[in-house]
Amino acid sequence: MTINVALAGAGAFGIKHLDAIKLIDGVKVVSVVSRELAKTQEVADKYGIAHVTTDLADSLKIKEVDAVILCTPTQMHASQTMACLEAGKHVQVEIPLCDVLKDGEAVVARAKSSGKVAMCGHTRRFNPSHQWVRQRIEKGEFHIQQMDVQTYFFRRTNMNALGQARSWTDHLLWHHAAHTVDLFAYQAQSPIVKANALQGPIHPSLGIAMDMSIQLKAANGAICTLSLSFNNEGPLGTFFRYIGDTGTYLARYDDLFNGKEEKIDVSKVAVSMNGIELQDREFFAAIKEGREPNGSVAQVLPCYQVLHQLEQQLNA
The 10s digit of each residue's pLDDT in 42-65 is 999 999 999 999 999 999 999 999
pLDDT on residue 271: 95
* In a domain? residue 309: no
CATH of the domain at 78: 3.40.50.720
Assess if residue 302 is contained within a domain: no
- Amino acid in the structure at residue 158: N
Residue 155 has pLDDT above 80, yes or no: no
Number of domains observed in the structure of the chain = 2
Q: What is the mean pLDDT of residues 202-216?
A: 91
Q: Domain check: are 25 and 143 in the same one? A: no
Residue 158 pLDDT grade (very low, low, confident, very high; cuts 50, 70, 90): low
Distance of CA 8 to the CA centre of its chain: 15
Q: Are residues 172 and 96 in the same domain?
A: no
Per the domain annotation, does 307 fall within a domain? no
CATH code assigned at 178: 3.30.360.10
Asked whether 33 and 56 are in contact (CB, 8 A), the reply is yes
| 304 within some domain | no
For 35, list phi and psi in degrees, rounded to 5: -65, -40
- Average pLDDT for residues 148-153, to the nearest whole number? 94
37-51, 154-168, 186-200, 233-247: the lowest-pLDDT one: 154-168
Q: Mean pLDDT, the chain, as a whole number?
A: 95
The reply to whether 31 and 117 lie within a common domain is yes
Q: pLDDT (tens digit, 9 = 90+) per residue, 90-124?
A: 999 999 999 999 999 999 999 999 999 999 999 99
Mean pLDDT, residues 228-254: 93
Q: What is the pLDDT of residues 265-304, one digit of tens each?
A: 999 999 999 999 999 999 999 999 999 999 999 999 999 9
Q: Can you give the pLDDT at residue 235? A: 85
Q: Does residue 83 sit in the same domain as residue 172?
A: no
Average pLDDT estimate for 74-95: 97
Is there a single domain that holds both residue 261 and residue 285? no
Domain that holds residue 224: 127-269
Angle at 195 between CA 227 and CA 111, to 5 degrees: 100
Can you give the pLDDT at residue 289? 98
What pLDDT is stored for residue 225 in this prediction?
98
Q: Residue 168: is its pLDDT beyond 60?
A: no
Q: What is the pLDDT of residue 165?
A: 67
- Same domain? For 72 and 14 the reply is yes
Tell me whether residue 312 is in a domain: no
Residue 313 lies in a domain: no
218 within some domain? yes
Tell me, yes or no, whether 50 and 179 share the same domain.
Answer: no
Instruction: Look at residue 174 in the predicted model and tell me its pLDDT.
Output: 94
pLDDT at 193 over 80: yes
Q: Examine the pLDDT at 169 and tell me if it is beyond 80.
A: no
CB 200 within 8 A of CB 209: yes
How far apart are the C-alpha atoms of 132 and 122, rounded to whole Å?
16
- Could you tell me which of 123, 15, 281 has the C-alpha nearest to residue 32? 15
Q: Which amino acid is at 271?
A: V
pLDDT of residue 162: 60
If asked whether residues 214 and 134 sit together in one domain, one would say yes
Decide if 195 is inside a domain: yes
Mean pLDDT of 138-159: 89
Assess whether 16 and 72 both reside in one domain. Answer: yes
Please report, for residues 8, 17, 213, the alpha-carbon distance to residue 197 in angstroms, rounded to integers and kept in the order given.
Answer: 33, 32, 6
Residues 144 and 265 grouped into a single domain: yes
Assess whether 88 and 161 both reside in one domain.
Answer: no
Cα within 13 Å of Cα(39), Cβ side? 13
Say what percent of the chain tops pLDDT 70. 96
Mean pLDDT of all residues in 133-156: 94
Mean pLDDT, residues 235-247: 95
Residues 235, 201: one domain?
A: yes
